[in-house]
Amino acid sequence: MTTASTKTILQRRLQLLLIALVFFGPLGFAFYMYYGAVYLPHGRVNHGTLISPARPLDGTALLNEKGPATLVLLHKWSLLYVVDGACNTLCHQAFSEMQSQRLALGKDIDRVQRVALITQDCCARDFLEASESDVQAVWLLPSKSVLSRATFPNSPQPQIYVIDPLGNLMMSYPVGGERKGLQTDLRRLLRLSHIG
Protein backbone atom coordinates (compact mmCIF):
# COMPACT_ATOMS: atom_id res chain seq x y z
CA MET A 1 0.00 0.00 0.00
CA THR A 2 1.24 3.44 -0.82
CA THR A 3 1.13 6.37 1.51
CA ALA A 4 -1.39 8.07 -0.82
CA SER A 5 -3.90 5.20 -0.54
CA THR A 6 -3.40 5.01 3.25
CA LYS A 7 -4.03 8.75 3.45
CA THR A 8 -7.24 8.37 1.38
CA ILE A 9 -8.51 5.57 3.64
CA LEU A 10 -7.85 7.67 6.76
CA GLN A 11 -9.66 10.66 5.21
CA ARG A 12 -12.72 8.52 4.37
CA ARG A 13 -12.80 7.07 7.89
CA LEU A 14 -12.53 10.56 9.34
CA GLN A 15 -15.42 11.73 7.11
CA LEU A 16 -17.54 8.75 8.23
CA LEU A 17 -16.73 9.51 11.87
CA LEU A 18 -17.68 13.19 11.43
CA ILE A 19 -20.99 12.26 9.78
CA ALA A 20 -21.75 9.87 12.67
CA LEU A 21 -20.89 12.61 15.19
CA VAL A 22 -23.13 15.13 13.43
CA PHE A 23 -26.03 12.66 13.60
CA PHE A 24 -25.52 10.96 16.98
CA GLY A 25 -23.83 13.83 18.86
CA PRO A 26 -26.96 15.92 19.56
CA LEU A 27 -28.93 12.79 20.42
CA GLY A 28 -26.29 11.63 22.89
CA PHE A 29 -26.03 15.13 24.39
CA ALA A 30 -29.82 15.31 24.87
CA PHE A 31 -29.86 11.91 26.62
CA TYR A 32 -27.01 12.99 28.87
CA MET A 33 -28.70 16.27 29.79
CA TYR A 34 -32.09 14.72 30.52
CA TYR A 35 -31.29 11.32 32.04
CA GLY A 36 -28.09 12.49 33.72
CA ALA A 37 -30.30 14.93 35.68
CA VAL A 38 -28.12 17.82 34.52
CA TYR A 39 -31.17 19.55 33.11
CA LEU A 40 -34.76 18.69 33.79
CA PRO A 41 -37.50 20.71 32.07
CA HIS A 42 -39.46 22.90 34.48
CA GLY A 43 -42.75 22.41 32.65
CA ARG A 44 -44.90 19.50 33.73
CA VAL A 45 -48.24 18.22 32.63
CA ASN A 46 -49.48 16.46 35.76
CA HIS A 47 -51.59 18.29 38.34
CA GLY A 48 -51.11 15.90 41.25
CA THR A 49 -47.97 14.97 43.13
CA LEU A 50 -46.07 12.45 41.02
CA ILE A 51 -44.54 9.62 43.02
CA SER A 52 -41.32 8.97 41.16
CA PRO A 53 -40.41 6.26 40.68
CA ALA A 54 -43.79 4.58 40.95
CA ARG A 55 -43.88 2.64 44.23
CA PRO A 56 -45.19 -0.95 44.21
CA LEU A 57 -47.54 -1.52 47.12
CA ASP A 58 -46.19 -4.28 49.32
CA GLY A 59 -48.59 -7.21 49.55
CA THR A 60 -46.73 -8.59 52.57
CA ALA A 61 -47.38 -5.37 54.51
CA LEU A 62 -50.98 -4.83 53.39
CA LEU A 63 -52.78 -7.95 54.60
CA ASN A 64 -56.38 -8.70 55.42
CA GLU A 65 -58.20 -11.92 56.30
CA LYS A 66 -58.25 -12.97 52.61
CA GLY A 67 -54.50 -12.53 52.08
CA PRO A 68 -52.60 -9.70 50.34
CA ALA A 69 -54.88 -6.67 50.07
CA THR A 70 -53.01 -5.61 46.93
CA LEU A 71 -54.92 -8.26 44.92
CA VAL A 72 -57.93 -5.89 44.89
CA LEU A 73 -55.76 -3.25 43.18
CA LEU A 74 -54.80 -5.38 40.18
CA HIS A 75 -56.33 -5.18 36.67
CA LYS A 76 -58.03 -1.79 37.15
CA TRP A 77 -56.94 1.77 37.81
CA SER A 78 -57.76 2.59 41.42
CA LEU A 79 -58.60 5.77 43.28
CA LEU A 80 -57.61 4.87 46.83
CA TYR A 81 -58.18 6.55 50.16
CA VAL A 82 -56.61 5.34 53.41
CA VAL A 83 -59.18 5.43 56.22
CA ASP A 84 -57.25 5.58 59.46
CA GLY A 85 -59.47 6.30 62.43
CA ALA A 86 -63.04 7.59 62.24
CA CYS A 87 -64.44 8.37 58.79
CA ASN A 88 -64.91 12.10 59.35
CA THR A 89 -66.04 14.90 57.01
CA LEU A 90 -62.82 14.77 54.97
CA CYS A 91 -63.21 11.02 54.58
CA HIS A 92 -66.78 11.38 53.23
CA GLN A 93 -65.58 14.24 50.98
CA ALA A 94 -62.81 12.01 49.59
CA PHE A 95 -65.28 9.26 48.60
CA SER A 96 -67.63 11.83 47.10
CA GLU A 97 -64.77 13.32 45.04
CA MET A 98 -63.65 9.88 43.90
CA GLN A 99 -67.20 9.03 42.82
CA SER A 100 -67.64 12.25 40.83
CA GLN A 101 -64.24 11.71 39.15
CA ARG A 102 -65.22 8.18 38.20
CA LEU A 103 -68.65 9.18 36.87
CA ALA A 104 -67.10 11.94 34.74
CA LEU A 105 -65.04 9.35 32.83
CA GLY A 106 -68.07 8.26 30.79
CA LYS A 107 -67.22 5.18 28.70
CA ASP A 108 -64.04 4.56 30.71
CA ILE A 109 -65.89 4.31 34.04
CA ASP A 110 -65.38 0.52 34.23
CA ARG A 111 -61.59 0.93 34.02
CA VAL A 112 -61.47 2.78 37.36
CA GLN A 113 -62.54 1.62 40.83
CA ARG A 114 -62.79 3.27 44.24
CA VAL A 115 -60.89 1.55 47.02
CA ALA A 116 -60.95 2.17 50.77
CA LEU A 117 -57.89 0.83 52.58
CA ILE A 118 -59.12 0.66 56.17
CA THR A 119 -57.25 0.20 59.42
CA GLN A 120 -58.96 -1.50 62.34
CA ASP A 121 -59.39 1.89 64.04
CA CYS A 122 -62.17 2.79 61.62
CA CYS A 123 -65.82 2.60 62.65
CA ALA A 124 -67.72 3.48 59.45
CA ARG A 125 -68.43 -0.13 58.46
CA ASP A 126 -72.05 0.61 57.36
CA PHE A 127 -70.98 3.44 55.08
CA LEU A 128 -68.00 1.63 53.56
CA GLU A 129 -69.69 -1.74 53.05
CA ALA A 130 -73.13 -0.55 51.87
CA SER A 131 -74.51 -2.91 49.22
CA GLU A 132 -75.27 -0.06 46.79
CA SER A 133 -71.74 1.30 47.11
CA ASP A 134 -69.11 0.58 44.46
CA VAL A 135 -66.29 1.08 46.98
CA GLN A 136 -63.92 -1.87 47.38
CA ALA A 137 -63.52 -1.91 51.18
CA VAL A 138 -60.27 -3.59 52.27
CA TRP A 139 -59.96 -4.05 56.04
CA LEU A 140 -56.36 -4.51 57.14
CA LEU A 141 -55.33 -6.88 59.89
CA PRO A 142 -54.64 -5.08 63.19
CA SER A 143 -51.00 -6.14 63.30
CA LYS A 144 -50.36 -4.79 59.82
CA SER A 145 -52.13 -1.43 60.02
CA VAL A 146 -48.98 0.42 61.10
CA LEU A 147 -47.09 -1.01 58.13
CA SER A 148 -49.76 0.25 55.74
CA ARG A 149 -48.96 3.84 56.72
CA ALA A 150 -45.28 3.33 55.94
CA THR A 151 -46.18 2.35 52.37
CA PHE A 152 -47.68 5.73 51.54
CA PRO A 153 -45.78 9.03 51.45
CA ASN A 154 -46.17 11.27 54.47
CA SER A 155 -48.50 14.18 53.85
CA PRO A 156 -49.87 16.90 56.15
CA GLN A 157 -53.39 16.38 54.79
CA PRO A 158 -55.43 13.36 53.62
CA GLN A 159 -54.71 12.25 50.05
CA ILE A 160 -56.49 10.44 47.23
CA TYR A 161 -53.99 8.08 45.59
CA VAL A 162 -53.93 6.85 42.00
CA ILE A 163 -52.81 3.22 41.69
CA ASP A 164 -52.07 1.67 38.29
CA PRO A 165 -53.47 -1.77 37.25
CA LEU A 166 -50.17 -3.41 38.23
CA GLY A 167 -50.49 -2.23 41.85
CA ASN A 168 -48.03 0.69 41.70
CA LEU A 169 -48.61 3.90 43.66
CA MET A 170 -48.27 6.66 41.04
CA MET A 171 -49.81 9.97 42.11
CA SER A 172 -51.53 11.68 45.01
CA TYR A 173 -54.01 14.54 45.29
CA PRO A 174 -55.08 16.39 48.43
CA VAL A 175 -58.71 15.88 49.43
CA GLY A 176 -60.63 19.06 48.61
CA GLY A 177 -57.98 20.12 46.09
CA GLU A 178 -58.42 21.01 42.44
CA ARG A 179 -60.91 18.50 41.03
CA LYS A 180 -60.26 19.40 37.39
CA GLY A 181 -56.58 18.49 37.75
CA LEU A 182 -57.32 14.94 38.90
CA GLN A 183 -59.83 14.48 36.09
CA THR A 184 -57.34 15.74 33.47
CA ASP A 185 -54.58 13.47 34.75
CA LEU A 186 -56.89 10.46 34.98
CA ARG A 187 -58.16 10.93 31.42
CA ARG A 188 -54.58 11.27 30.15
CA LEU A 189 -53.49 8.09 31.96
CA LEU A 190 -56.43 6.09 30.60
CA ARG A 191 -55.84 7.40 27.06
CA LEU A 192 -52.15 6.50 27.11
CA SER A 193 -52.49 3.19 28.94
CA HIS A 194 -53.46 -0.07 27.30
CA ILE A 195 -53.74 -1.92 30.58
CA GLY A 196 -56.66 -1.84 32.98
Helix (H) or strand (E) holding 50: strand 49-56
What pairing do the DSSP bridges indicate for beta strands 112-118 and 77-83?
parallel
Q: What are the pLDDT digits (tens) for 150-186?
A: 577 778 888 999 999 988 889 999 998 877 888 988 9
pTM flag (> 0.75)? no
Q: What is the mean pLDDT of residues 94-120?
A: 89
CATH fold for domain 49-192:
Glutaredoxin (3.40.30)
Q: What is the pLDDT of residues 8-33, one digit of tens each?
A: 888 899 999 999 989 898 888 888 87
Of 167, 172, 175, the residue nearest 61 (C-alpha): 167
Coil, strand or helix at 58: coil
Closest by Cα among 178, 158, 157 to 117: 158
Q: What is the mean pLDDT of the chain?
A: 80
Dist CA 101 CA 98 (whole Å): 5
Among 92, 96, 97, 150, residue whose Cα is nearest residue 119: 150
Reported as a pLDDT band with limits 50, 70 and 90, residue 146 is: low
Whole-angstrom Cα distance, residue 13 to residue 19? 10
